[in-house]
Amino acid sequence: MTEAVFRETTAEPRTQAVPLSHLSLELGHLYMEDFEAGPEHLRRHFARVRPWAEAARAFAADRAGGRRARVSTCFLIDDYFTRFASPAEVVPMLLAEAEHAGLAVDYLARESGCAVSGKVPVAEAVAGRIVEEPPPGSHGHRPPAAQTGWLANGVRSPTARAPQAMRKAAAWEPPRETAARRHSVFLDVELWNETPDGERLWSCPFLAAVWQLARLGLLRHQGEAVFDPQPHTGAFPDEWDDLPPLVRLNPRADPFAAYRTCSVLPGRFLPVEHAVRVVLDQTDVDRDALRQVAERSAHEGVPVPGPVADRVSYVFCEET
């Protein structure tokens, strides 16, 4: 005899679905010094970005199989590590120089929103989902990333220790990448450190990993989408905290999140984005969010790679 089980419908967790474009195209991720260099510096940046952005759009159109490719553009401003000027000064200059290059920014995001968005501790929540890959032959001697704030893609070199009497010192061993192809490219990523006040300061690579998860539509907090684009109305504020974490600048823009992302960035970001892949490869992404994307992509006939890191692509362009 089978017993019926009754539950309150409100007790069942619900994972909010988000609309998805085919491609989220990042037109830049610049810091204080880039804006301090003035409009000419931004103009050169967007002039370098434009041909690669056009190529990414063409590639997305080809993947769409004859249907209109949904492509949204975004730009990330660093207001986390350094507060400079104000949105009222910076954003109009940014948008004007993008337009001068024939580019349109659909969505504007603040990097501090990748740490805390509203009342949601986004970075802390993502850090709690890191599941380290145990390297072959490891014996648990290495403290976990949750304790040290460091995440590796393999086995570190063992720490040299003074030998006991009558014993030889252990021979040096090189670090080893877990998924190495013939030779290792070992990377040890700092996820955070602590300020003198004991507060956690998230690293640029870790916040960039959170940013990629947001663009892929895979961030949830208690089932709700973390980044809800707010429409831009009126003038830009004088304080960064008064600007929403994610602003929709183009009311007709395709959805912010997408099946895949592409970022056109200066070459100096290459090591940062290598670290992003290490983080994404060891993050247990929300299963319901992954399922929703898989179902949507299958319905549309748009293949999406299984590994989250493989949904991310880049163009690294020259800076001079």
SS (H, E, C) the chain: CCCCCCCCHHHCCCCCCCCCEEEEEEEEEECHHHHHCCHHHHHHHHHHHHHHHHHHHHHHHHHCCCCCCCEEEEEEECCCCCCCCCHHHHHHHHHHHHHHCCCCCCEEEEHHHHCCECCECHHHHHHCCECCCCCCCCCCCCCCHHHHCEEECEECCCCCCCCCCCCCCCCCCCCEECCCECECCCCEEECEEECCCCCEEECHHHHHHHHHHHHCCCCEECCEECCCCEECCCCCCCCHHHCCCEEECCCCCCCCCEEEEEEEEEHHHHHHHHHHHHHHHCECCCHHHHHHHHHHHHHHCCCCCCCHHHHEEEEEECCC
pLDDT on residue 162: 56
Q: Tell me the mean pLDDT in the region 10-15.
A: 63
Q: Which two tokens stand for residue 287?
A: 């299963």
Tokens of 10: 């409100």
State the pTM of this model: 0.90
Check pLDDT > 90 for residue 92: yes
pLDDT-wise least confident of 75-79, 81-85, 106-110, 160-164? 160-164
How high is the mean pLDDT of the chain?
Answer: 89
Q: CA-CA distance, 24 to 65, in Å (whole number)?
A: 18
pLDDT in tens, 203-237: 999 999 999 999 999 999 999 999 999 999 889 99
Higher local confidence (pLDDT), 114 or 167: 114
Tell me the pLDDT tens digit for each residue of 254-292. 999 999 999 999 999 999 999 999 999 999 999 999 999
* Tokens read off for 174: 């090189």
CA separation for the pair 249, 227 (Å, rounded): 15
Partners of 76 in the β-ladder: 29, 109
The closest of 111, 73, 79, 78 to 95, measured between CA atoms, is: 73
pLDDT confidence bin for 147, thresholds 50/70/90: confident
pLDDT given at position 58: 95
Express each pLDDT in 148-186 by its tens digit: 999 999 888 776 555 565 566 667 788 888 888 889 899
Overall residue count recorded for the chain in this entry: 320
- The reported pLDDT for the residue numbered 166 is 59
